[in-house]
Amino acid sequence: MPKTTPGPRDERGVLAARILVAARKAFADAGYAGTTMRAVGRAAEVDPALVYHYFGSKEALLDAATEPPQRWLESVAATWATPVPQLGEALVRRMLSAWGDDEIGPVLRAILQTAAHEAATREKLRLVVERSLIGVSQLGADEAERMVRSGLISSQIMGLAMMRYVWLIEPIASMSDDALVAAVAPTLQRYISDDLG
């Protein structure tokens, strides 16, 4: 979020949003070390000084560019309220719809593409997974079991997301949503309520 108000409120919001779109792409493509505030300004077609003015530092820009949208965190929390017999399918569909969303998809992509090599984003990814996939669930008889079940669910969802949206590995990248749901929902259902040995 911008820290100051150098212009009319609307213009500030529009320019900040444009800078964040360019920053997500730059961080994802070139990594944190390979990205400069100047290049982000050029890609966003704004004066690079404005990038500093709005976001203060490259670290703060990365932080803003990879901030999970509140709307998405709320929708994930709501998904966890799905009755247990439909929860596996609901979680797969929530993931597919998030990546298809114009606002949420690019943020998730930026988080996953920088998390492999940026400690700060890895920490954020850990928080996102803990809050959205592990922390919110009510699975299991105790805390340890709940963590294991949610961790396994996360491993399948995140692997699917990396193959389909980040690494673009076929045939996962092109399968229909319905085919993926039919194939993967039972896996999640097993992690949700079966005996895991």
Binding residues for a copy of itself, per CB under 8 A?
A: 28-35, 112-117, 122, 125-126, 129-130, 144, 147-148, 151-152, 154-160, 162-164, 166-172, 175, 179, 182-184, 186-187, 190-191, 196-197
171 preceded by cis ω (within 30°)? yes
Residue 79 or 114 with smaller CB distance to a copy of itself: 114
Give the residue with the Cβ less far from a copy of itself, 54 or 165: 165
Angle at 162 between CA 157 and CA 167, to 5 degrees: 160
Q: How far are the Cα atoms of 30, 110, 114, 120, 125 from residue 117, in angstroms, in the given order?
A: 11, 12, 6, 9, 12
Closest contact distance (angstroms) between CB of 115 and a copy of itself is 6
Nearer to a copy of itself, 79 or 113 (CB): 113
How near is the Cβ of 129 to a copy of itself at its closest, in Å?
5
Residue 170 gets the label, from left (phi > 0), alpha (psi -120 to 50) or beta, of beta
Q: Which is nearer to a copy of itself, 73 or 148 (CB)?
A: 148
Q: Are 79 and 88 in contact (CB under 8 A)?
A: no
Q: Could you tell me the smallest distance in angstroms from the CB atom of residue 40 to a copy of itself?
A: 14
